[in-house]
Amino acid sequence: MAKEKKVEQITSMDTDFAQWYTDVVKKAELVDYSGVKGCMIIRPYGYAIWENIQKELDGRFKALGHENVYMPMFIPESLLQKEKDHVKGFAPECAWVTVGGDNQLSERLAVRPTSETLFCDHFKNVIHSYRDLPKLYNQWVNVVRWEKTTRPFLRTSEFLWQEGHTMHETEEEAREETLRMLGVYEDFYLNVLAIPAITGRKTEKEKFAGAIETYTIEPMMHNGVALQGGTSHYFGDGFAKAFDITFTGRDNTIKYPFQTSWGVSTRSIGAIIMTHGDDNGLILPPRVAPVQTVIIPVAQHKEGVLEKANEIKERLSAAGVRVKVDDSDNSAGWKYSQYEMKGVPVRLEIGPRDIESGVCVLVSRVSGEKKTVAIESVESEVAAMLDYVHNELVDRARRNLAQKTNEARSYEEFLDCAQNRPGFIKAMWCGDEECENKIKDETGGVKSRCIPFVEDKLSDVCVCCGKPAKHMVVWGRQY
């Protein structure tokens, strides 16, 4: 079936990717703009996606022993300042509360941009012995960062996320936790969101403020631009020392614990949109889609059609499928377009002719192909198509990632890639920040994404300065 553009309200991706994104976000009813600068309203359909993301991640966290807590949303300035690299990183984008009611506050309060300092302030009180470790905490909250330019989901002044904060007895254990949680994200992105990604370590320059190591998951969007999908940090005992968090060890000496933190935000919804969407709108990965299958009754006024549609709905629902029947007065064609725009992964059409022969029609949102299946086996057929859609999305995203990943062995080649081929560039690097800065300046924004866990040896020398190379870096532009 030839794919043509059916939804004229959505700007085509090739015409203007940024405008396409804005159109999809609005037309699929994910967000609305609010009267508050830089802040978005997440509408029911968008929030339902977030709830499914939460459910998936929260289950994985808890299975690994993490507990949910809630910290205050205000951080006294003195607390934020305890770790000097941390405050330097975040102070420029803090929102400050200076007045309460009629009274000027004696100390201004930051609206949390992230909560390491609050957790540490609390850890100090609850960690005394090695028997109190590890502490495996997580919280689902909003944070505020005063961004200069904002876009729905990708960068907003306020956003929702989870932030995990853990304390461990040994460095080794904390380092393991850092990598374990990045692994959780990698698994989640691939097996839930259908998004393959490059994972690795951030360079010194790109590290989180106050971290010893920052690990990252870097999916590539359809247009070749990277989006940091999640991060996991190893802090060593730097914050513990700054906050004077100590415990008595097994050897009866006073020690500092070792710390991690890790987070995924509503930005992941932006990743879904820009990884999977097409010119007809959103395509939701089945495992987080609020509606996995929409049933469109055809000629629904005819005897028995709606009854059959509802009967199928009950059966699918009982089988664990998130399903809805659209029995509104809109024409079938209108409904098709509507649910394509909203990215529902599988459509089920059922009309009088189908009912007569005991079948219904399943349509994949990815390929648009139709499959006639027996009503009696509808549960297994729908489940199979949902899996099929998931796998198709993974394959498509993998192909995009592979196609738009280039290798550069010389600086000329690097600049050529940066200018003419959107996507990632693999290239060797000497380890100096100077080269990162030079590359960023001379390409107009290409930065190191990460030092991947699996490095290729493309040459012996830095692509930029020609000095001996220490690592292969994946470079790219980012949201």
Partner RNA sequence: CGGGGUGUGGCGCAGUUGGUAGCGCGCGACGUUUGGGACGUCGAUGCCGCAGGUUCGAAUCCUGUCACUCCGACCA
User: Closest approach of Cβ 338 to RNA, in Å?
Assistant: 4
The answer to whether 330 touches 297, Cβ cutoff 8 Å, is: no
* Closest-CA residue to 61 (of 131, 142, 165, 202): 165
User: Closest approach of Cβ 302 to RNA, in Å?
Assistant: 8
User: Closest approach of Cβ 301 to RNA, in Å?
Assistant: 3
* Closest-CA residue to 223 (of 12, 423, 392, 27): 423
For RNA, the closer of residues 471 and 477 by Cβ is 477
Residues 146 and 31: their CA atoms lie apart, in Å, by 20
Any bridge partners for residue 164, and if so which?
138, 262
Residues 298 and 306: their CA atoms lie apart, in Å, by 9
User: Which CA distances in Å does 228 have to 20, 164, 220, 265, 310?
Assistant: 20, 17, 9, 10, 42
For RNA, the closer of residues 207 and 255 by Cβ is 207
Residues 258 and 235: their CA atoms lie apart, in Å, by 7
In the block, tokens 């709108």 appear at 281
For RNA, the closer of residues 11 and 191 by Cβ is 11
Contact partners, residue 432, CB within 8 Å, separation at least 6: 462, 465, 467
User: Closest approach of Cβ 454 to RNA, in Å?
Assistant: 21
Contact partners, residue 472, CB within 8 Å, separation at least 6: 426, 427, 428, 429, 451, 452, 455, 456, 457, 458
User: Closest approach of Cβ 316 to RNA, in Å?
Assistant: 17
Residues 379 and 383: their CA atoms lie apart, in Å, by 6
For RNA, the closer of residues 122 and 267 by Cβ is 267
User: Closest approach of Cβ 468 to RNA, in Å?
Assistant: 27
Q: What backbone torsions phi and psi does residue 116 show, to the nearest 5 degrees?
A: -50, -45
Residues 53 and 229: their CA atoms lie apart, in Å, by 13
The answer to whether 264 touches 229, Cβ cutoff 8 Å, is: yes
User: Closest approach of Cβ 165 to RNA, in Å?
Assistant: 14
For RNA, the closer of residues 111 and 127 by Cβ is 111
For RNA, the closer of residues 22 and 248 by Cβ is 22
For RNA, the closer of residues 36 and 64 by Cβ is 36
For RNA, the closer of residues 255 and 449 by Cβ is 449
- As given in the structure block, the two tokens for residue 413 are 């080649």
User: Closest approach of Cβ 434 to RNA, in Å?
Assistant: 15
Q: What are the counts of helices (DSSP H) followed by strands (DSSP E) for the chain? A: 14, 23
User: Closest approach of Cβ 304 to RNA, in Å?
Assistant: 12
User: Closest approach of Cβ 127 to RNA, in Å?
Assistant: 25
Kind and range of the H or E run holding 387: helix 378-403
Q: What backbone torsions phi and psi does residue 65 show, to the nearest 5 degrees?
A: 95, 10
Residues 365 and 146: their CA atoms lie apart, in Å, by 37
For RNA, the closer of residues 72 and 333 by Cβ is 333
For RNA, the closer of residues 236 and 351 by Cβ is 351
For RNA, the closer of residues 184 and 363 by Cβ is 363
Contact partners, residue 408, CB within 8 Å, separation at least 6: 414, 416, 417, 425, 426, 427, 458, 463
User: Closest approach of Cβ 347 to RNA, in Å?
Assistant: 7
